[in-house]
Amino acid sequence: MSAAGTGGARPLRLHPDRLLPTGAEERSVAREILAAMSALPLVSPHGHLDARLFLDDAPFADPSHLLVTSDHYVVRLLHSQGVALSDLGVARVDDQVDNGVGGRPDGRAIWHHLCRHWGALAGTPSRLWLEHELHELFGVREVPSRATADSTYDTVARALATDALRPRALYRRFGLEVLTTTDSPLDDLAVHDALAADPSWTGRILPTFRPDEVVDPAPASFAAKVARLGEVAGIDTSGYAGYVAALESRREAFAARGATATDHGVPVRSTERLGASAVEAVFSRLLAGTATPAEQEAFRGHMLDEMARMACDDGLVMQLHVGVVRDYDPATHARYGSDVGQDFSVATEYTTTLRPLLSRYGDSAALTLVLYTVDETVYSREIGPLVSYFPALRAGAPWWFLDAPDAMGRAFDALGETAGIANMAGFVDDTRSLCGIGARHDVARRAAAGYLARLVCEHRLEIEEATELGRGFAYDRPKAIFKV
């Protein structure tokens, strides 16, 4: 396959004023605020990278696997254009080849899908992130298209072969100061231990305690997971007290490896505690597989409260990521597993759901609870009012589908007035894409600069305070709130 001629290709540009306000006055102020943020290191207190990346520090092999197949944002957009998941390299759970026409697609074939449907990314943050990565990391200077599919693939592939694009080099290049992973209580954190023990590694990678699989009793695997939790913790989890002790023990083990936070994505409709004997009885039925859906629901709510109680004890910052229906089509999930783009958001409720929990712990100086949402109606209606009263609460960065410049702008508008800017936790990239970290922080900083510049030009803030708030958004507040 020969490289296509690129004489007629549109140039790929990265304008220095991209995403800034378009009015001259606001743009000028935004540039000044952005400049103050740009000098700061990146902190990444919530994300989904695998720590092994940094332990192995192996070069990334293939442009398509890196930038397409493993990025469920891109996968979903290409799938929406009719490209089969298998044609994008998404692996089957059973590791069988899904592609009737001749084995797994090679990287170049996947890249052609991306280039052919480059227009389908117009307007999306994935387009912004990819443009940024292609331009800044890989040196691509042509807009991807059918005509430039081969030449851009080759350019990226060449760059990937260099040491400058290996994981540790990227960590340094992005100016990362700390990066967190998200980990199961069943994980023994051996990779984190090995990384900590590696004298050649100077970065900081911290685990985050995500107990969903051992606190959500809905899946049939619950009892097995609880048993496994007991093994990992060395504590008998056949009764509720042991189960709680095992969770506490695993939290302690995470904290000992530097974890500062937990993360919770289990759906909850209430945070009422169950009484001691009731929870013991429900837990038994859950392990026996005889509990009702209502009991499962009640248990999930109870356990979120239990987690808040533990957080008050051990100081781990609690994050709440609810409101997503994951693995939507069961058949696709059975074939391809999770994180292939078929997760969708639903209406979210915090005010009444969290009332019991916040009545108990909301005033506690020992708790920090960061609320996220993919339902943006919750910003001005619930998160803003709640975080502007309870000292334990902070508003999390716009999450998932809302991690995009216009959506961030709406979140700033909605939260700034109700929550106060100071009650926003600042940006987290929440990404599975190492190469995309720089781009994601860049987009977020530009969005923040634009918002603050508008407040300055509307004479709601002086430039000095706006610049401080910008620095706080980009660096000080995430560091302080997530205790990293």
Cβ atoms of residues 68 and 432 within 8 Å: no
Choose between 282 and 386: whose C-beta lies nearer to a copy of itself: 386
User: Residue 203 CB, nearest distance to a copy of itself (Å)?
Assistant: 31
346 interacts with a copy of itself by CB under 8 A = yes
Distance CA 30, CA 332 (A): 44
Q: Which of 441, 370, 403 is nearest to 176 (CA)?
A: 441
Cβ atoms of residues 412 and 447 within 8 Å: yes
267 interacts with a copy of itself by CB under 8 A = no
Choose between 141 and 410: whose C-beta lies nearer to a copy of itself: 410
Single out the segment in contact with a copy of itself by CB under 8 A; choices: 9-17, 38-46, 258-266, 308-316: 9-17
- Footprint of a copy of itself on residues 98-157 (CB under 8 A)? 119-125, 127-128
Tokens 């302080």, located at residue: 480
Choose between 288 and 459: whose C-beta lies nearer to a copy of itself: 459
335 interacts with a copy of itself by CB under 8 A = no
Q: Which of 92, 381, 91, 327 is nearest to 212 (CA)?
A: 327
Cβ atoms of residues 416 and 380 within 8 Å: no
The CB density around residue 474, as the number of other CB atoms within 10 Å, is 27
- Footprint of a copy of itself on residues 381-410 (CB under 8 A)? 381-382, 384-391, 393, 401-402, 404-407, 410
**Which residues pair with residue 43 across a beta bridge?**
178
435 interacts with a copy of itself by CB under 8 A = no
Residue length, the chain?
484
Q: Rule CB under 8 A: choose which of 193, 329, 338, 366 binds a copy of itself.
A: 329
476 interacts with a copy of itself by CB under 8 A = no
- Footprint of a copy of itself on residues 73-92 (CB under 8 A)? 76-77, 79-82
Q: Rule CB under 8 A: choose which of 167, 211, 217, 341 binds a copy of itself.
A: 341
User: Residue 393 CB, nearest distance to a copy of itself (Å)?
Assistant: 7
Strands lying side by side in the sheet with 393-395: 261-264, 317-321, 369-372, 393-395
User: Residue 136 CB, nearest distance to a copy of itself (Å)?
Assistant: 15
Cβ atoms of residues 88 and 113 within 8 Å: yes
Cβ atoms of residues 264 and 290 within 8 Å: no
Q: Rule CB under 8 A: choose which of 92, 104, 108, 355 binds a copy of itself.
A: 355
Q: What are phi and psi of 446, to 5 degrees?
A: -65, -40
Choose between 30 and 435: whose C-beta lies nearer to a copy of itself: 30
Interface with a copy of itself (CB under 8 A), residue total: 92
